[in-house]
Amino acid sequence: MAIIFPGTTCRSPVVNSQTLLIDSLLEIAAELQVRISSPEIQQLGDLYRQVEDDLDRLTGLSHQLSINEQHLLNDYQVFDNQLGECFQACGKFHEELFMTETNLRELHSVLEKKKFDQASVQARILTETEMLRDLAGRLKNALSVIPEHQLHYNELKPRIDSVITRCNDMNETDE
């Protein structure tokens, strides 16, 4: 005699394991979302905006710079480019993660249907797993260079401020 509970379905062990795998991938995605929104990434954005502001001020003063100050400005521009690339990459992490989460939720829906191509679903799960692994690695790399960027900024910033102050003082005495 078999007992049947209303509302339950008989799902294959493969479907159940795939569903559990998708759920665990969604949990990983949620953890990555927290890391992407971390204070370190916010700090990177603040640093980038500060360097951009300094460069805006220095651009108008470039004709007043000595050769050494011009080299410093060039170093700061290179640093700005590095920060910009890192910050833009971090911004794209949100988009990539959103797409991966969307794909995983879609796979959940596919598994709810009675008929689906098992090989196709398995291939898509593998693809999304690799996407999350790749994103996690790139995010880890981005987070690891933030302290280096901060140190480099701390080294350059006082010298940049000194140049800005000298040029501003020079402009005030010219008036």
Would 162 be classed as within a structural domain?
yes
Query: pLDDT tens, position by position, for the chain (175 residues)?
Result: 443 434 444 556 667 888 899 999 999 999 999 999 889 889 999 999 999 999 998 888 888 889 999 999 999 999 999 999 998 988 899 999 999 999 999 998 888 887 778 889 899 999 999 999 999 999 999 899 999 999 999 999 999 999 999 888 887 766 5
Phi, psi of 65 (to 5 degrees): -85, 145
Residues 97, 27: contact at Cβ < 8 Å?
A: no
Would 16 be classed as within a structural domain?
no
Would 104 be classed as within a structural domain?
yes
Would 17 be classed as within a structural domain?
no
* Global model pTM greater than 0.85: no
- In the three-class reduction of DSSP (H, G, I as helix; E, B as strand; rest coil), residue 160 is classed as helix
Tokens of 99: 């797409």
Number of domains in the chain: 1
Count the helix, strand and coil residues of the chain and give each as a percent rounded to the nearest 5: 85, 0, 15
Determine the structural domain holding residue 160 and report its residue range: 28-174
Tens-place pLDDT, residues 108-159: 888 888 777 888 989 999 999 999 999 999 999 989 999 999 999 999 999 9
Would 13 be classed as within a structural domain?
no
